[in-house]
């Protein structure tokens, strides 16, 4: 049986100034990891790292716009210099533009693909260098049930997440024999700022989300984080190139 302790491990989470990314950072920190939060929002990110340090964790914040490959390469070098290695890298940064496909502005399409698909690739490529050299490491991609099957009004989001799940398979099989695992989770709806924004804009309701979910409730941030901690641990040593739904039954459910 593998271990789920992260003592002595260094874990990086992108887009982790708040939301699910912060929750993952909090849980990895609790499990003993040195946790590196990264985001485009320096103010929120620094405050988030401060909160973790106040709780006794070894937490740090670095600015990282995942759309810029050069930034992720520089940051990976810096973290390896400061902490010796990167054990786990979580591609979590995300944006959610909504609206009819026929009128989705090109810049919103581009940003979605750049952040959630290309960004995850650039970061994976950057962190693969020290991980492959060491023959050890785990990359976790945060996909979505909308990447498994689309819902209307989310064309860019769903396409980016479907691509991300394909990326998990592609990198997973390519690096499998070299000690690097690439895994993913596909959560259904969890209450974060991203979801609150959609509710405020009137593009969805909590009732509709609950009705769509066999468990009849939204997910909790720590339920996603716990699955990520499991997949990134030695307890999941034989799992790679796979995305696990964390969805209260959503993807299995044929709504009628
Ligand atoms: N909340 C849900 O219901 C849900 C469901 C399935 C998947 N997800 C995914 O989980 C991840 C986290 O989402 P969340 O719900 O916590 O939303 P969130 O909006 O709270 O977090 C997203 C974070 O990504 C950051 N970000 C945006 N662009 C970035 C960039 N270019 N570089 C670096 N960081 C950037 C934002 O600043 C923010 O902190 C996303 O990938 C999202 O698609 C969320």
DSSP the chain: ------TT-EEEESS-SSHHHHHHHHHHHHTT-EEEEEES-HHHHHHHHHHHHHTT-EEEEEE--TT-HHHHHHHHHHHHHHHS---EEEE-------S-GGG--HHHHHHHHIIIIIHHHHHHHHHHHHHHHHT-EEEEEE--HHHHS--TT-HHHHHHHHHHHHHHHHHHHHHGGGTEEEEEEEE--B-SHHHHHHHHHTS--HHHHHHHSTTSSPBPHHHHHHHHHHHHSGGGTT--SEEEEESTTGGG----
pLDDT by 10s per residue, the chain, length 256: 455 799 999 999 999 999 999 999 999 999 999 999 999 999 999 999 999 999 999 999 999 999 999 999 999 999 999 999 999 999 999 999 999 999 999 999 999 999 999 999 999 999 999 999 999 999 999 999 999 999 999 999 999 999 999 999 999 999 999 999 999 999 999 999 999 999 999 888 999 999 999 999 999 999 999 999 999 999 999 999 999 999 999 999 998 7
Counting from 1 in the atom list of ligand 1, the atom nearest the Cα of 22 is 16
Active site annotation includes 157: yes
Ligand 1 contact via 160 beta carbon (within 6 Å)? no
Which residue's alpha carbon is at the smallest distance from atom 42 of ligand 1?
94
Q: Please determine, looking at this structure, whether the domain spanning 10-188+224-244 carries the CATH number 3.40.50.720.
A: yes
The domain locations on the chain are 10-188+224-244
Question: How far apart are the CA of 196 and the centre of ligand 1, in A?
Answer: 12
């Amino acid at each position: 049986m593998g271990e789920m302790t992260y003592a002595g491990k260094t874990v990086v989470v992108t887009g982790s100034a708040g939301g699910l990314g912060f929750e993952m950072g909090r849980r990895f920190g609790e499990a003993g990891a040195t946790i590196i939060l990264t985001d485009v929002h320096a103010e929120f990110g620094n405050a988030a790292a401060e909160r973790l340090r106040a709780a006794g964790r070894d937490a740090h914040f670095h600015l990282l716009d995942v759309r810029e490959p050069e930034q992720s390469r520089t940051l990976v070098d810096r973290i390896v210099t400061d902490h010796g290695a990167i054990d786990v890298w979580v591609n979590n940064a995300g944006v959610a533009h909504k609206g009819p496909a026929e009128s989705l502005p090109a810049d919103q399409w581009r940003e979605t693909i750049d952040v959630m698909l290309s960004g995850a690739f650039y970061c994976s490529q950057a962190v693969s260098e020290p991980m492959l050299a060491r023959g050890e490491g785990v990359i976790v991609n945060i996909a979505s049930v909308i990447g498994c099957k689309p819902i209307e009004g989310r064309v860019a989001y769903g396409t980016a997440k479907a691509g991300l799940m394909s990326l998990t398979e592609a990198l997973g099989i390519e690096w499998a024999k070299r000690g690097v695992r690439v895994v993913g989770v596909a959560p259904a709806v969890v209450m974060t700022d991203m979801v609150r924004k959609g509710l405020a804009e009137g593009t969805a309701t909590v009732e509709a989300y609950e009705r769509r979910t066999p468990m009849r409730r939204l997910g909790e941030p720590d339920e996603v984080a716990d699955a990520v901690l499991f997949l990134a641990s030695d307890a999941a040593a034989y799992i790679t190139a796979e995305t696990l739904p964390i969805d209260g039954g959503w993807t299995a459910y044929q709504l009628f």
